[in-house]
């Protein structure tokens, strides 16, 4: 065996590697897989080594390219338990004539370890048809198994092995996971844990478990986009058990299926605490459950990715003794994350910080955090009144939803408190109009507010596969892109590290309107919103699209991402000739 092993290592170009030789010797001594030992060594190119192995053994090579074999019934030819335990991917099935004229099935199986005799014996004893072996990359095989069989297929196969009927009647009769046999309950628990763990590993922010007419759909929201999780084809028959398990984890009433419920799950992954918010919605096909995954990792200013020009402005606002700082944007735009980063920066011994939220998303030591409970009369307004009697320095109000809450917050700002809150508007300038429309007197807005932030989230380019983009100059000019500013426009490519999307993670883009004397005057005289925009540009306001283009030139995101979340800047007649704001500079550059 050893001469064959070294022949393969030589052909793969890693025979001279000391770590590889040591790993092979240890594997041979312990009678474990030398192929896995080599693949686990740092610096070994998986594809080159496995192709050399296939060539030496005269076995066909399966490229894969992350594609799932297309034959619908392919998974039925190899039990999920065997496929997933031994990491064998069926890629084709055909009928071949034998000598006596009878047809015999032939299954094409891909493995990354063709020298594993235990695997060969298990397949031979379990299958009634012939096998043709192929060699493929381990990463491609694992990816293909996930897509072909679905998450947790091996455990569900054990549960369903004794069931003769997977019809709709059984779904309707099944009440809760507690009514199932012990082994089934344990398997459902394991499957639910796999769903959550996989979501955390893939950086999902939300997990949606959605009953459909003929299946149970599970989707992850990753970097703002929903992606469906492959699941076993017969999972519909265990829909009630899966949903009941999630409700038990969230301490919800498993017997109540007619009304929405809310709960929380506290988890830990690799020592990092994870807070999961759970919400159930009754639907015609069964209860739909949404899980919001909230990492309790500390929020800091550094993690916001502020530009060098933006960071001093933010730090200066955080040093203000009083006033209101409002962050605007739609749901899911990262407003809460930014607020917590601000509070984390100010969270010091000499400051008393009190928050009132609905709900409390991140638990931060050193601060007093209050959760709104309208059913007992604890609203934003009543809670805020109590907070102000408790001698706070900094107050954070989760959202300004009504005039009463807003007026109390403004009075708090005028009496020496620094207040942070959120507002639902499309841009920073719109914050002024929104407050006035709510019924706040303009002179109170101009006196209390220090700045309006607006923000959106865009996907970050994958650092492993991003590449320079060739973009038509005329197109750049038409969108107001700064043609004379140095930098390189990049494009998304896609690789294994980013699941082929070309993006990995998200970043915030901002626009900030600071309250200046000139802007205060315009608010007090109830000027038209276009006048606010003109004055903000004169005061140095950079529109969100311009800020996003800075991130594009820094190679952090793409033009398409910025355009997808920002509006075109206002018409030229809204921009003053005397101003030197970002819009005019972009036009001059064009």
pLDDT of residue 85: 79
Alpha-carbon span 417 to 387, nearest angstrom: 11
pLDDT of residue 325: 94
Pairwise CA distance, residues 390 & 559, whole Å: 48
Q: Can you give the pLDDT at residue 68?
A: 56
Alpha-carbon gap, residue 516 to 5, rounded angstroms:
75
Q: Note the pLDDT of residue 173.
A: 35
Per-residue pLDDT, 3? 66
Separation of alpha carbons 313 and 291, rounded Å: 36
Helix (H) or strand (E) holding 294: strand 286-295
* Distance from C-alpha of 6 to C-alpha of 15, rounded to nearest angstrom: 6
Q: What is the DSSP string of 90-146?
A: EEEEEEEE-TTS-EEEEEEEEES-TT-HHHHHHHHHH-SSEEEEEEE-HHHHHHHHH
**According to the model, what pLDDT value does residue 74 have?**
76
Query: Do the beta carbons of residue 51 and residue 57 sit within 8 Å?
Result: no
- Cα 521 from chain centroid? 43
pLDDT of residue 15: 62
Find the length of the chain.
Answer: 590
Q: How far apart are CA 185 and CA 182, in angstroms?
A: 5
Residue 562: closest CA among 467, 461, 421, 453: 461
For β-strands 449-461 and 368-371, DSSP reports them as unpaired
Residue 331 has a CB neighbour count (10 Å cut-off) of 6
Q: CA neighbours within 13 Å on the CB side: how many for 218?
A: 23
Please list the pLDDT of the chain residue by residue as tens digits (590 residues). Answer: 566 676 777 776 776 677 777 777 777 767 777 788 777 777 678 888 888 888 888 889 888 765 555 555 677 788 777 887 788 888 888 887 776 667 778 888 889 888 888 888 888 888 878 888 999 888 888 878 777 777 666 555 555 544 433 333 333 333 333 334 445 567 788 888 888 888 888 889 999 999 998 888 999 999 889 988 887 777 787 888 889 999 999 999 988 888 999 998 888 777 777 888 999 999 998 899 999 988 767 678 888 888 888 888 999 999 999 999 999 988 888 888 899 999 999 998 899 999 998 888 888 888 999 998 888 888 888 989 899 888 899 999 988 888 999 999 999 999 899 999 999 888 899 899 999 999 999 999 999 999 999 999 999 999 989 999 888 889 988 888 888 888 889 999 988 778 788 999 899 999 999 999 999 999 999 999 899 999 999 988 889 999 999 999 999 999 999 999 887 665 534 433 333 333 333 333 33
Contacts of residue 130, defined as CB under 8 A and 6 or more positions apart, other chains included, come to: 96, 104, 105, 106, 107
CA distance 495 to 281: 36
Q: Report the 10 Å Cβ neighbour count for 369.
A: 17
Distance (Å) of CA 445 to CA 401, 431, 438, 511: 16, 10, 11, 19
Across-strand partners of 211?
A: 216
3 state SS of 183: helix
Structure tokens at 277: 């918010």
Contact criterion met (CB below 8 Å) for 111 and 88: yes
* Domains detected in the chain: 3-149 (3.30.300.160), 154-294 (3.30.450.90), 301-458+508-543 (3.40.50.300)
Residue 482's pLDDT is what?
87
């Amino acid at each position: 065996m050893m001469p064959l092993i070294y022949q393969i290592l030589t052909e793969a170009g890693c025979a001279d590697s000391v770590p590889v030789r040591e790993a092979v010797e240890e594997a041979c001594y312990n009678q474990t897989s030398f192929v896995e030992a080599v693949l686990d060594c740092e610096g070994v190119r998986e594809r080159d080594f496995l192709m050399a192995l296939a060539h030496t053994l005269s076995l066909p090579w399966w490229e894969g390219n992350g594609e799932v074999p297309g034959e619908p019934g392919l998974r039925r030819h190899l039990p999920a338990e065997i496929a997933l335990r031994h990491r064998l991917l069926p890629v084709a099935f055909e009928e071949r004539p034998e000598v006596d004229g009878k047809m015999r099935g032939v299954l094409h199986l891909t493995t990354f370890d063709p020298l594993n005799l235990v695997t060969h014996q298990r397949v031979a004893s379990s299958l009634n048809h012939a096998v043709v072996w192929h060699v493929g990359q381990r990463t491609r095989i694992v990816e293909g198994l996930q897509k072909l069989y679905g998450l947790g297929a091996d455990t569900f196969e054990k549960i369903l092995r004794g069931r003769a009927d997977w019809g709709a009647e059984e779904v309707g009769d099944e009440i809760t996971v507690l009514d199932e046999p012990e082994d089934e309950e344990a398997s459902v628990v394991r499957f639910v844990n796999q769903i959550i763990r996989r979501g955390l590993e893939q950086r999902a922010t939300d997990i949606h478990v959605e009953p459909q007419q003929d299946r149970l759909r599970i989707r992850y929201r990753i970097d703002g986009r929903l992606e469906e999780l492959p699941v076993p084809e017969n999972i519909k028959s265990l829909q009630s058990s899966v949903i009941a398990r999630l409700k038990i984890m969230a301490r919800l009433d498993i017997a109540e299926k007619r009304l929405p419920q809310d709960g929380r799950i506290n988890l830990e992954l690799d020592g990092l605490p994870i807070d999961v918010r759970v919400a159930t919605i009754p639907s015609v096909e069964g209860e739909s459950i949404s899980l919001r995954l909230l990492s309790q990792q500390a929020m800091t200013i550094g993690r916001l990715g502020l530009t060098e020009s933006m960071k001093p402005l933010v730090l200066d606002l955080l040093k203000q003794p009083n006033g209101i700082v409002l962050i605007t944007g739609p749901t899911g735009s990262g407003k809460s994350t930014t607020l917590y980063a601000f509070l984390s920066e100010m969270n010091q011994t000499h400051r008393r910080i009190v928050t009132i939220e609905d709900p409390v998303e991140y638990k931060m030591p050193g601060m007093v955090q209050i959760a709104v409970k309208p059913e007992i009369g604890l609203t934003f307004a009543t809670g805020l009144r109590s907070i102000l009697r408790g001698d706070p320095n900094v107050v954070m109000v989760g959202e300004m939803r009504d005039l009463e809450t807003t007026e109390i917050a403004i009075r708090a700002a005028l009496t020496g408190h620094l207040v942070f809150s959120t507002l639902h508007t499309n841009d920073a300038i719109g914050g002024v109009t929104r407050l006035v429309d709510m019924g706040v007197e303009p002179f109170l807005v101009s006196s209390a507010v220090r700045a309006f932030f607006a923000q959106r989230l865009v996907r970050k380019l994958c650092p492993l596969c991003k590449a320079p983009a060739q973009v038509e100059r005329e197109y750049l000019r038409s969108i107001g892109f700064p043609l004379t500013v140095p930098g390189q426009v990049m494009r998304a490519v896609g690789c294994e590290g980013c699941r082929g999307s070309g993006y990995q993670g998200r970043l915030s883009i901002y626009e900030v309107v600071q309250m200046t004397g000139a802007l205060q005057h315009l608010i007090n005289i109830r000027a038209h919103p276009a006048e606010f925009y003109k004055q903000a540009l004169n005061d140095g306001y950079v529109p969100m699209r311009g800020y996003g283009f800075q991130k594009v030139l820094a190679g952090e995101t793409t033009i398409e991402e910025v355009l997808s979340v920002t509006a075109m800047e206002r018409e030229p007649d809204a921009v003053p000739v005397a101003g030197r704001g970002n819009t005019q500079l972009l036009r001059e550059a064009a």
